[in-house]
Amino acid sequence: MAIIEVKDLTKIYGNGDNAVRALDSINLSIEEGKFVAVMGPSGCGKSTLLHLIGGLDRPTSGSVMIEGKDIAKMKDDQLTELRRRKMGFIFQFFNLIPVLNAAENAALPLILDGVKQERAKARAMEWLQKNQLGDRSTHRPDELSGGQQQRVAIARAMISNPLIILADEPTGNLDTRSGDEIASVLRSLVSDWGRTVLMVTHDPRIAAYADRIIFLKDGKIVDDTLMSSDAPENARRLKEKVESL
Amino acid sequence: MKGQFLLAYRYLTGRKQRMVLTTLAVVFGVAVLFGMNAMLPGIITAFRHSMITAAGKVDLSISSKSNGPFNQSIMDTIQNAEGISVSTGILQRNVQIPESLGGTTDPITRSASITLNGLDVETARLVRRYQLSEGRFLEPGDTDQAVISYSLAQKMDKKVGDTLTIPSSQGKADLIVVGILTQFESTTVDEVYVTLPTAQRILGLEGQITVIDMLLDGQVDKATVEKNLLQSLGGGFKSGQVELGNELSAALEMGESVMWLFGIMALAMAAFIIYNTFRTVVAERRRDLGMLRAIGASRKTVMGIILTESLLQGIIGTFLGLVTGYAIAYGILQGLGPMIEAFMRAQVGPPEITAANLAASTLLGIGFTVGSSYLPSRTAMKITPMEALRPVTLLVERRRRLLRAAIGAILIALSIVGLITGDLPVASLSTLAFLVGLIMVIPVLVKPIASTFGRLLSVIYAREGTLAQGNLYRQPSRAAVTASAMMIGLAVTIAMIGLVTSVFDGFIRYLDRSLGSDYLLMPSSLVLGGGNLGAAPEFARRLEKLEGNSGVTTLRLASTQTKGAALQVIGIDPQKYPEISGLEFSQGDPFQSFSALGSGRSIIVNGIFATSSAVKVGDTLLLETPEGEKEYQVVGVAMDYLNAKIATGYISQAFLEEDFHITTDVLIMANRKEGANQTAVDAEIKAAAKDYPAFTLFDAEAFKKSQMEVFQSSMSMMNALVFMLAIPGLIAMANTLGISIIERTREIGMLRAVGSTQKQVKRMVFAESLLLSALGTSLGILVGIFLSYYLLKAVNFAGFTLDFYFPGLGILVAIAVGLLFGILAAMVPARQAARTVIVEALRYE
Q: How far is B816 from chain A (nearest CA, A)?
A: 40
- Count of positions (residues) in chain B: 845
Q: Where are the alpha helices (DSSP H) in A40-175?
A: 46-53, 76-86, 102-112, 117-130, 146-158
DSSP string, B736-787: HHHHHHHHTHHHHHHHHHTT--HHHHHHHHHHHHHHHHHHHHHHHHHHHHHH
Which residues on chain A are in Cβ contact (under 8 Å) with B3?
Answer: 108, 111-112
Residues 6+ apart with CB under 8 A from B190: B112, B113, B114, B115, B148, B149, B151, B152, B155
Nearest-Cα residue of chain A relative to residue B844 = A142
Nearest-Cα residue of chain B relative to residue A108 = B3
Return d(Cα B23, Cα B312) in angstroms, integer. Answer: 10
List the single residue in A56, A112, A160 with the smallest CB-CB distance to B3. A112
Residues 6+ apart with CB under 8 A from B615: B563, B605, B609, B621, B634, B637
The dihedral of CA A8, A14, A17, A21: what is its sign?
negative
> At residue A128, does pLDDT exceed 90?
yes
> At residue B78, does pLDDT exceed 60?
yes
Tell me the average pLDDT of chain A.
89
List the single residue in A83, A98, A117 with the smallest CB-CB distance to B6. A117
- Closest by CA position to B539, among listed B672, B662, B688, B684: B688
Residue B205 DSSP label? -
Nearest-Cα residue of chain B relative to residue A106 = B295
Count of helix runs (H) and strand runs (E) in chain B: 27, 22
Per-residue CA distances from A5 to A27, A44, B278, B782 (Å): 8, 20, 41, 63
- Closest by CA position to B772, among listed B469, B397, B458, B438: B469
How much is the average pLDDT of B39-58?
A: 57
Return d(Cα A90, Cα B303) in angstroms, integer. Answer: 24
DSSP string, B178-193: EEEE-TTT--SS-EEE
Residues 6+ apart with CB under 8 A from B695: B521, B522, B523, B535, B539, B668, B689
Residues 377 through 436 of chain B touching chain A, CB cutoff 8 Å: 384-386, 389
- Closest by CA position to B244, among listed B211, B275, B215, B217: B211
Q: What is the pLDDT of residue A14?
A: 83
Return d(Cα B382, Cα B302) in angstroms, integer. Answer: 9
Q: B605 has which bridge partners?
A: B637, B649
Phi, psi of B23 (to 5 degrees): -65, -35
> At residue B187, does pLDDT exceed 60?
no
Return d(Cα B156, Cα A57) in angstroms, integer. Answer: 88
pLDDT in tens, B740-756: 777 777 777 777 777 77
> At residue B245, does pLDDT exceed 80?
no
Cβ distance A80 to B287 less than 8 Å, yes or no, reads: no
**Contact in structure between B191 and B115 (CB atoms under 8 Å):** yes
Which residues on chain A are in Cβ contact (under 8 Å) with B296?
Answer: 80-81, 83-85, 109, 112-113, 160
Bridging pattern class, strands B519-523 and B648-652? unpaired
Return d(Cα A90, Cα B836) in angstroms, integer. Answer: 31
Q: How far is A160 from chain B (nearest CA, A)?
A: 10
- Closest by CA position to B52, among listed B253, B345, B338, B251: B345
| Choice between B15 and A176, residue whose per-residue pLDDT is larger | A176
- Closest by CA position to B737, among listed B461, B374, B468, B378: B468
pLDDT in tens, A204-231: 889 989 999 999 999 999 989 888 766 6
Residue B535 DSSP label? B
Cβ distance A97 to B385 less than 8 Å, yes or no, reads: no
List the single residue in B6, B296, B385 with the smallest CB-CB distance to A81. B296
Q: B93 has which bridge partners?
A: B116
Cβ distance B11 to A108 less than 8 Å, yes or no, reads: no
The half-sphere exposure of A130 on its side-chain side, counting CA atoms within 13 A, is 22
Return d(Cα B151, Cα B129) in angstroms, integer. Answer: 18
| Choice between B547 and A69, residue whose per-residue pLDDT is larger | A69
Per-residue CA distances from A24 to A61, B140, B188, B483 (Å): 10, 116, 91, 48
Per-residue CA distances from A30 to A186, B424, B710, B770 (Å): 16, 73, 88, 59
Nearest-Cα residue of chain B relative to residue A142 = B844
Q: What is the ipTM of this complex?
A: 0.85
Structure pTM?
A: 0.68
pLDDT in tens, B340-374: 665 555 566 788 788 888 998 999 999 989 998 99
- Closest by CA position to B265, among listed B33, B482, B435: B33
pLDDT band at B247 (very low <50, low <70, confident <90, very high): low
Cβ distance A56 to B298 less than 8 Å, yes or no, reads: no
Q: What is the pLDDT of residue B127?
A: 85
pLDDT band at A94 (very low <50, low <70, confident <90, very high): confident
Interface A-B, measured as beta-carbon pairs within 8 A, has a size of: 77
pLDDT band at B57 (very low <50, low <70, confident <90, very high): low
**Contact in structure between A97 and B288 (CB atoms under 8 Å):** yes
pLDDT in tens, B460-501: 777 777 777 777 777 777 788 778 777 877 887 788 778 777
How much is the average pLDDT of B375-398?
A: 70
Residue B91 DSSP label? E
Which residues on chain A are in Cβ contact (under 8 Å) with B385?
Answer: 51, 56-57
